[in-house]
Amino acid sequence: MRVKPTQQVERAGVSWIEHLVVSELGWLFREQETADFGIDAQLEIVDSETSKATGRLIGVQIKSGLSYFEKPAEGGWWFACRAHHTSYWNGHSLPVVVMLYHPTDKTVYWQHVNEQTVQSTGKHAKIRIPRSQNLASHSAQALRSVARSASEVPALEDWAFSPPVGEPQRAAYFEHLLSARLCVMVPGAFVEKNPLDGAWDLILWVRSDVPGDETGVRLAVQGSPSGVRRIATEYRSGLLPLVIFYTGTQDIGAVAQQSGDDGTSPVYIVAWREGGVAKALQDAITDAIRWAKTRWGIRD
């Protein structure tokens, strides 16, 4: 199988940005496996004095290649994209920055996406990426001011009310929603895409302060009532609990949720259209993590 040069450049860009974030800023870098919908990675600020993760996050869109430096602007370059991309980034639960990787110079330049930096050109938009904003240790202060904490992230009801139409766009949208929300909701959490076929789409891993101690919770994103009922009935894993996040518009009614008392893993169901979905998600994840820790003998 031949690897396209553009794919190599893309991977080099992601890897180099991760290197700079970890070595220059001293922060955490989490690549997003479901990156096709506009967020390639998350950055989490680490307190330089205590070396503890702060829960303050930034979403990152990464673009790699010389072609992104072909449109000069005053003091930098123009990054062109479709208007619906900037609308998505502006409406995201996390603040979003665009980062451009120059493969020849091995430099990275960034810009915060907001109403002030985005210029509309009709169906398209453009963002000026300043040459002065190269990613290095001195970027920490500016990027720190961009990040948001969990208390600053809007409620799920506020920003998930108008998802895109059609699959797989809806699935990708809600997978990003869950990933972003859970990373600010749960200390030490990171979310990865399920690499195997199964009833779940994502896996939430929670690291403790003890090396090697990880707690897992499986997450299923399901848009149909019948799908929710089928998964809730058939899930019999003895390893990890499952949280089903129902994204459909129909009333699913009462669905039996497994308790886990019979040796099987419990199943929790959260419907985003119902009132108090943020608390319902918090309660479900908290209970699922508690069950998993008890199951695997992990102490808080």
Tens digit of each residue's pLDDT (9 = 90 or more) over 13-29: 999 999 999 999 999 99
- From 153, 207, 140, select the one nearest 180 (Cα to Cα): 153
Domain-wise residue ranges, the chain: 5-152, 156-296
> Strand 96-102 and strand 53-64: pairing?
parallel
Query: Which residues are bridge partners to 202 per DSSP?
Result: 193, 219
What architecture is domain 5-152?
3-Layer(aba) Sandwich (3.40)
pLDDT of residue 162: 64
CA 118-124-129 angle, 5° bins: 40
pLDDT of residue 17: 97
E strand or H helix that includes residue 129: strand 124-130
Structure tokens belonging to residue 229? 């009922």
> Is residue 266 classed as helix, strand or coil in its secondary structure?
coil
- Strands (E) in 32-117, as ranges, are 41-46, 53-64, 72-73, 76-82, 96-102, 107-112
pTM of full prediction above 0.75: no
Map tokens 């009833």 to a residue.
199
Structure tokens belonging to residue 238? 């003895």
Listed as ranges, residues in the chain with pLDDT below 70 are 1-5, 33-37, 149-164, 167-168, 208-212, 274-276, 297-300
pLDDT of residue 215: 85
